[in-house]
Amino acid sequence: MKNISTIFFTSLLSVIFTIITYKLLIENDFLRLENTKVISDSTKNTSRYEAPNLTVAANKTINHVVHVKNVSYKTSSRNSIFDFIYGYEGNRQMQPQIGTGSGVIISEDGYIVTNNHVIQGANQLEITLNDNRSFEATLIGTDPKTDIALLKIDVPEKLSYATFADSDSIEVGEWVLAVGNPYNLTSTVTAGIISAKARNLSEDGIQSFIQTDAAVNPGNSGGALVNTKGELIGINTLISSSTGSYVGYSFAVPSNMAKKIIEDLLEFGNVQQGVLGVQGYELNKQIANAKNIDLTQGFYIEEINANSGAANANIQKGDVITKIDNKPIKNFLELNAAIATKRPNDKVKVTLVRNNNQQDVLVQLSKKEIQNISFNGFELENLTENEKQALRINYGVKIKNISNPNYKPYANELKNAIILSINGQKIENTEMANEVISRINNKSNIRLDLLSRNGERLRIVL
């Protein structure tokens, strides 16, 4: 009996010891492992799936974005030959047409940037702030090629305004906000990411858009594209859509380009565009093999413009440009984007490869000049100094040719005539003519004051 009692108590003590050991050591370790796993999973899920907080950027930007109202007037079509020759107005009634868009306040004293197509052809411009106050706006200047326009309103107090960020430093995949007034809805905010940089959507290769998947709809044009800090990285300008509404792609003019255009308009009244003075094409493997070049990316130079900055810097045919101011260059669009924010006489460092040897050259940019332009079937060119002296004028552009069949009956009389003014604005050269014409609504009349070959003053309305 004593042995049985001894065995029983020994077994009981063993059980108690085992339970205590499990509680103190094994179970606590297991709980610690479980807790560690939960914390790890929680951290992992947060870093992978949680989107950034965009409320600060949104709240900051909505007060910088304005509604732009464009009022223009349209008359009935002209049928009479007398209407064409003399610009007879008759009793036609002017009918108002209203367009809308967005704009961004960029200074405390009321300067506003928007798209050129938002204000094109406007007779009146009205700005409505986010607090619903409205002001009449003055057009300071435009650049149709980049689709940028600058407006000004007079306000009694200082305004909150958007600050420019460096659009060259943005990255694909970076979060952005698009803020505008689509369908006249005040300060609508949409979010997305940067899908691509330096997109070319124009036939002449001038543009270098930021592509984003943030929803942009009619009325967003001229609005702000901002980063997560609420800084301006672009001006929303268009969408790629067959329906006219957003279907997944939208585009913005980079802030660096917009800022340069604005500064030019304020300082010079027009855009000062510097050029390298080279022509060529994108380098690829096939061209590299044919030209015996140890590169597969860059801009291959086929031709050098005479008296250009490139010619003065001894850049040669067959050179391959790989960098501009240390920015990689793979094609013409990137080359153009690197130069687009520069002015004539600015100097840039060009990194090029010649005979498979890399070298740096300093190039002073020359001025881009427009020698010939066309509009509505009229081909215009600058006057020579001899022509100005013979006609005793110091301004105007010559009608070189007329290709529009509607004006063929008057072609002989109008060919070589001199356009002195367009819609009352004096025209000094083709560059100014191009700028004035680009601001005219394609549905509006165009009044031309001419000097004929016989020295007669004429006025026609197109």
pLDDT of residue 309 exceeding 80: yes
Among residues 72, 195, 221, 250, which one is catalytic?
221
pLDDT given at position 183: 64
pLDDT of residue 321 exceeding 90: yes
CA dihedral 195, 198, 199, 202 (to 10 degrees): 160
pLDDT given at position 363: 95
pLDDT of residue 51 exceeding 70: no
**How many CA atoms does the CB half-sphere of 374 hold within 13 Å?**
7
Residue appearing with tokens 């860059």? 298
Name the pLDDT band for 111 (thresholds 50, 70, 90).
very high
Higher pLDDT among residues 448 and 112, named by residue? 112
417-435 pLDDT tens trace: 999 998 888 888 887 887 7
pLDDT given at position 32: 46
pLDDT of residue 441 exceeding 70: no
Name the pLDDT band for 84 (thresholds 50, 70, 90).
low
pLDDT given at position 272: 86
Name the pLDDT band for 446 (thresholds 50, 70, 90).
confident
pLDDT of residue 436 exceeding 60: yes
pLDDT given at position 115: 92
Among residues 147, 213, 264, 449, which one is catalytic?
147
133-185 pLDDT tens trace: 999 999 998 888 788 999 999 999 999 999 999 998 899 999 999 999 876 66
Mean pLDDT over residues 200-217, rounded? Answer: 70
**393-411 burial: b if 16+ Cβ within 10 Å, else e:** eeebbbbeebeeeebeeee
Q: Is 117 a catalytic residue?
A: yes
59-72 pLDDT tens trace: 999 999 999 998 88
pLDDT given at position 47: 42
pLDDT given at position 85: 54
The pTM assigned to this predicted structure is 0.67
Asked if residues 236 and 102 have their Cβ atoms less than 8 Å apart, the reply is yes
Judged by average pLDDT, the poorest of 35-44, 156-165, 251-260, 360-369 is: 35-44
Higher pLDDT among residues 157 and 46, named by residue? 157
Q: Which residues contact 338 (CB under 8 A, 6 or more apart)?
A: 324, 325, 327, 329, 348
Q: Is 147 a catalytic residue?
A: yes
Name the pLDDT band for 410 (thresholds 50, 70, 90).
confident
Closest CA to 69 of 150, 136, 144, 131: 136
Name the pLDDT band for 8 (thresholds 50, 70, 90).
low
Higher pLDDT among residues 76 and 114, named by residue? 114
pLDDT given at position 199: 67
For the chain, what is the mean pLDDT?
80
pLDDT given at position 439: 66
Name the pLDDT band for 13 (thresholds 50, 70, 90).
low
Sequential DSSP letters for 289-315: HHHT-S-SSSEEEEEE-TTSHHHHTT-
**155-180 burial: b if 16+ Cβ within 10 Å, else e:** eeeebebbeebebeebeeeebbbbbb
pLDDT given at position 336: 81
Judged by average pLDDT, the poorest of 109-113, 141-145, 362-366 is: 141-145
d(CA 240, CA 421): 37
d(CA 399, CA 393): 16
231-254 pLDDT tens trace: 999 999 876 555 555 556 788 999
Closest CA to 233 of 178, 315, 182: 178
pLDDT of residue 204 exceeding 80: no
Mean pLDDT over residues 16-34, rounded? Answer: 51
pLDDT given at position 429: 83
180-202 pLDDT tens trace: 987 666 778 999 999 888 666 55
**Which two structure tokens, joined as six digits, stand for 461?**
């309305």
pLDDT given at position 157: 93
pLDDT given at position 438: 64
Name the pLDDT band for 203 (thresholds 50, 70, 90).
very low
d(CA 232, CA 361): 33
